[in-house]
Chains A and B, each alone.
Chain A
C-alpha cells in the first residue's frame, strides 16, 4: 500500500523531541509484551518529571481567544487544485478533517468551506437583511434587530452535494478527509423564518423564496415555501459563537438536511414569489445530469449516507495485534430525517451485521455508530450502510448508478468501501461492476 501519510517526524533532532522517544519506548514495550514485567523497559515519561510539570504555565488569559494545542497543528482543513471550480482557490472547497474528529460537533475552525467568490468579510454594523416580495409588510432588519427575535438552536449537518463528486467513476481519493470531508455538523442558532413571517404576513400566492447572498458571487437559490414554513432558520451563531466568516458571517440561511448550497451565506435578501427563479446555481450547477441526458433540478435533500471513520486511510489499524478488541466507528446522516440504524459489512457487501448507534440520535444531524471488532489480521472490505425513518436505505454503487448514471456530479450517497490489508493498512476502493 502506498503511504501518503507522514506518520513520523520529518525533522530529526529537536530539543523538544520527546515524541520520538515515546514512540521508541512503546515499541520496546510492545515487543516484550509477553515477557515478565521486570523485563519491560521503563517509560521515561513516567520515570522522570515532565517538562510541563516543573515550570510555570502561561497566564490564565494568555490567549484571550483560546487556541488548540500547538501539537494539533496538523488537524486542519485541506484542499487541492481539484477542489476548485476555476483556476484559483477563491471559488473552491476545503475539506473537514473527519479522521481527527470526535462526537458530532465540528469545531468552527474546521468546518468545511465552499465559496464562489472568495470569503467575504462583512461589517456587522453595515449588515442589512431585506425580506420582501409576496408579503404584506416588506422589512429591513439590522443584525441586532434580527437577534431580538426569539431564537432556536438545532444540531444539523451541512453537506455540499458534491461531497464525493469525484468518485462517480471510481475511487479517487486516498483519504477520508477528501472522500467525505465536504460536510460538517454544528449547533446552529438563529430565528425560525416562520416566526418572522407570522409578523410580515405571507401572501397565499407565495410558492417560492429566493435567498440571495451579499458576497461577490451574489449566490442565490430558490426554495419552496413549504420548507421555509417548516424548519428553515436564519442563523447567526454556530456552536455558541458568531458564524465564522467562511460560514457567512454575520448571517446565513439554514435549510435543515438540504444542500449546503441552499443555506446561502452572507445572506442579504429573501424574496417571496409565485415562480421559481432559475439562478445559476440551480441550473448550470447543482442539477443532477442522469444517463437519460436529462437532469434532476431542485434536488434538495442530502440523502441517507454513512462512512466508517475508524479505521480509515489516515488512521489505519497498523498498530493492532491479532486478537485486539477494537472499535469500528463511523458517521451516518440523512437530510430526509433521522438515522434509524447502520449495518456494516466486512466482505464488501455480501453479508451484513448491525452496528450500534451511540450518542445523540437527532434528525438531520450526524449520528455516530459503533461496532466492537476482534482484529484478526485478515484483509477486509469494510463498508457501512445506513437507513433512516423515511424508509431510505443507502444504495450500493451499482444501485445508485443504475438510476442516475455516473455524470450527475451531485448527490452521491453510495456505500463506501475501505480495503483493510492484512497488516492493517487502509485504502479507498469501490465494489462495483
Chain B
C-alpha cells in the first residue's frame, strides 16, 4: 500500500539519506539503529559523542569537553572556588532533617497506642480514607486486599492482570504492596492530614501508624497488634511488611546502584523494547502469544473534561469586572485617550475647574455636544458603536469623577 513513491513527495531534504533499510523486513533494534548512524554519517545533527559506560538508567551519558556538551556550549573557565551561602547550623539541620531510613535510623522518640490511633484516625482521616482505612470515598485505600503469597513468596493478588476477561485489579495497600513501614510514619507526619499537614505530633503519628498497621493485620515480632499495643521507634523498625521483597532491582547495600545499572542495561528483557521492523511486520499477542492483533476502540469516553473541549477561536464570554463600572469600562476604551491628559485640549477627568465650566452649560447640552461632537472632539469620541444611553452613562461618570471630593 505504501510504496517508495511516497519519498518523491517529500519536501526538503531528508535528514537521513533514504536507506536500503526501508524494506529489509525485521531487524533487531541495535543493528538497525547502528546502520542508521552510518547512513547519516555526513550529518552531525543529533549525533553526539557517547561515553563508554552506560548510564545507570540504561541510557547514554554525553561527553563534556572542549567547551561543548552535545549541542550546547559551556564556559570552560574553572569554577573551583565558587562558593556561596553559609554553613548550616546543627539546629537548622535538626529542624529539617526529619526523614528516616527503613532500618529505623532517624525515627524520633515517642509512642502511641492502636487505641489512640483509632480515635485520631476517626477524627482526622476517616472522612477521606473510609472506615478502618477501607477507602471507598475516592481517596486512597489504606487497608484491605488479600496478602496470601504463592510458593515463591509473591503476593498472589498482585499478579492480577485485567486482560483476557479478568476483572479483578491488584490491590496496592499498605498490607499488600508497601515495602517499608517507616515510610508510613514519615509520610503521615509530613503530609497528612491532607488539609493540615505537619499538624500531628510524633506521639500521635506513632498512634495512627500503629492503628493503620493493625488494620492491615501486621504482626510485630510475631505479636498481633491489639488495641493496647503501643508502637515506638524500636518496634516500628522491626516491622516487616508482607510485600517487603516485592520490588526489584535490589537497591540495598553497597551494590545497590550497580544492581540498578545491570537491570537497565538489559532493557529488552526487563522493561520491554520494540523492533525496527519495516515491512510485513507481525505482532502476535494474546493469552497464547499467537493471537493476531485487532483494532480496539474506546469503550466509554470521559465526559467531565474541564474546561470542556473546544478548538474554536472566538472571544471568551464577557466576564463582569465588578471592580469597575460599565461606564468606566466604556470610558477607558473610547474616551480616556483624550480625556486623561490636557494635551488634546479636552477637559481632563478629575480637573474640577475645567468640568465646572463644562457643566455650567447644563447636562443636556453637554451630552448633546459629546454625541454630536464639539471642537476637537469627534462625535461620540469616534466610537459610533456607543448608544446615546451609553454616552449618558459615560458623561455622568466623567462629571461624577470630576467633582470636588
CA distance A362 to B46 in the complex (A): 6
CB-defined A-B contacts under 8 Å, sample of 25? A4-B309, A19-B313, A19-B314, A55-B383, A81-B304, A86-B138, A87-B139, A149-B82, A154-B72, A173-B298, A224-B56, A227-B55, A277-B101, A279-B186, A288-B271, A289-B158, A293-B155, A338-B46, A363-B62, A390-B54, A395-B272, A399-B273, A401-B285, A415-B274, A427-B297
A347 (CB) vs chain B CBs: closest residue: B1
Residue B97 CB within 8 A of the other chain? yes
CA distance A254 to B181 in the complex (A): 29
Residue B235 CB within 8 A of the other chain? no
Interface 1/0s, chain B 7-51, versus A by CB < 8 A? 101111011101101100000011011101100000001111010
CA distance A296 to B7 in the complex (A): 42
Residue B252 CB within 8 A of the other chain? yes
Query: A407 contacts B16, CB within 8 Å?
Result: no
Query: A389 contacts B197, CB within 8 Å?
Result: no
A405 (CB) vs chain B CBs: closest residue: B161
CA distance A225 to B314 in the complex (A): 51
Residue A132 CB within 8 A of the other chain? yes
Query: Are A339 and B161 CB-contacts (below 8 A) given A140-B86, A430-B295?
Result: no
Contact of A407 among B50, B169, B296, B312 (CB under 8 A): B169
Query: B159 contacts A292, CB within 8 Å?
Result: yes
CA distance A81 to B6 in the complex (A): 43
Question: Which residues from 1 to 23 on chain A have a C-beta closer than 8 Å to any C-beta of chain B?
Answer: 2, 4-9, 11, 14-17, 19
Q: Shortest distance in angstroms between A89's beta carbon and chain B's nearest beta carbon?
A: 9
Interface 1/0s, chain A 266-302, versus B by CB < 8 A? 0011010101111110011001110111111111110
Query: B312 contacts A9, CB within 8 Å?
Result: yes
> Which range contains the number of A residues in contact with the other chain?
35 or more
Query: B128 contacts A411, CB within 8 Å?
Result: no
CA distance A356 to B87 in the complex (A): 52
Query: Are A212 and B161 CB-contacts (below 8 A) given A74-B313, A337-B59?
Result: no
Contact of A171 among B46, B48, B297 (CB under 8 A): B297
Q: Which residues of B contact A224 (CB under 8 A)?
A: 56, 257, 260
Q: Which residues of A contact B52 (CB under 8 A)?
A: none
Query: B2 contacts A351, CB within 8 Å?
Result: yes
Mark the stretch among B207-215, B220-228, B276-284, B348-356 that contacts chain A: B276-284
B149 (CB) vs chain A CBs: closest residue: A293
Q: Shortest distance in angstroms between A395's beta carbon and chain B's nearest beta carbon?
A: 4
Q: Which residues of B contact A4 (CB under 8 A)?
A: 301, 305, 309
Q: Which residues of A contact B372 (CB under 8 A)?
A: none
Residue A424 CB within 8 A of the other chain? no
Q: Which residues of B contact A289 (CB under 8 A)?
A: 158, 170, 172, 177
Q: Shortest distance in angstroms between B403's beta carbon and chain A's nearest beta carbon?
A: 27
Name which of A80, A363, A397 has the most chain B CB atoms within 10 A of its CB.
A363
Query: B312 contacts A74, CB within 8 Å?
Result: yes
CA distance A240 to B23 in the complex (A): 45
Interface 1/0s, chain A 395-420, versus B by CB < 8 A? 11111111111110001000101010
Q: Shortest distance in angstroms between B292's beta carbon and chain A's nearest beta carbon?
A: 6
Residue A70 CB within 8 A of the other chain? yes
Residue A349 CB within 8 A of the other chain? yes
Query: B307 contacts A296, CB within 8 Å?
Result: no
Q: Shortest distance in angstroms between A143's beta carbon and chain B's nearest beta carbon?
A: 11
Q: Which residues of B contact A236 (CB under 8 A)?
A: none
Contact of B88 among A80, A138, A172, A351 (CB under 8 A): A138
Contact of A335 among B21, B57, B317 (CB under 8 A): B57
A17 (CB) vs chain B CBs: closest residue: B314
Question: Which residues from 242 to 266 on chain B have a C-beta closer than 8 Å to any C-beta of chain A?
Answer: 246-249, 251-252, 254, 256-257, 260, 263-264
Residue A319 CB within 8 A of the other chain? no
Contact of B29 among A87, A99, A334, A391 (CB under 8 A): A391
Q: Shortest distance in angstroms between B114's beta carbon and chain A's nearest beta carbon?
A: 21
Query: B280 contacts A351, CB within 8 Å?
Result: yes
Query: Are A407 and B162 CB-contacts (below 8 A) given A9-B314, A73-B316, A393-B275?
Result: yes
Mark the stretch among B115-123, B187-195, B359-367 that contacts chain A: B187-195
Contact of B139 among A86, A146, A367 (CB under 8 A): A86
Query: A298 contacts B279, CB within 8 Å?
Result: no
Residue A207 CB within 8 A of the other chain? yes
Query: A393 contacts B276, CB within 8 Å?
Result: yes
Q: Which residues of B contact A177 (CB under 8 A)?
A: 309
CA distance A217 to B280 in the complex (A): 50
Query: B180 contacts A278, CB within 8 Å?
Result: yes
Mark the stretch among B73-81, B323-331, B388-396 that contacts chain A: B73-81
Contact of A284 among B86, B178, B277, B294 (CB under 8 A): B178
CA distance A169 to B163 in the complex (A): 7
Query: B60 contacts A336, CB within 8 Å?
Result: yes
Residue A50 CB within 8 A of the other chain? no
Q: Which 3 residue pairs across A and B have the least CB separation, nearest first? A: A87-B138, A336-B59, A398-B285
Query: A150 contacts B37, CB within 8 Å?
Result: no
Query: A216 contacts B197, CB within 8 Å?
Result: yes
CA distance A325 to B12 in the complex (A): 14
Q: Which residues of A contact B299 (CB under 8 A)?
A: 170
CA distance A41 to B270 in the complex (A): 63
Query: B156 contacts A7, CB within 8 Å?
Result: no
16 new A-B contacts, CB < 8 A, other than A372-B9, A431-B283, are: A4-B309, A5-B310, A6-B312, A16-B315, A86-B139, A139-B86, A145-B85, A207-B257, A216-B197, A226-B55, A283-B247, A284-B177, A350-B279, A352-B278, A363-B71, A402-B289
Query: A398 contacts B128, CB within 8 Å?
Result: no
CA distance A121 to B6 in the complex (A): 53
B53 (CB) vs chain A CBs: closest residue: A226
Residue A85 CB within 8 A of the other chain? yes
Query: A354 contacts B82, CB within 8 Å?
Result: no
Query: B161 contacts A390, CB within 8 Å?
Result: no
Query: Are A392 and B273 CB-contacts (below 8 A) given A139-B85, A277-B99?
Result: yes
Query: A340 contacts B272, CB within 8 Å?
Result: no
A69 (CB) vs chain B CBs: closest residue: B313
Query: Are A399 and B274 CB-contacts (below 8 A) given A216-B191, A284-B183, A357-B15?
Result: yes
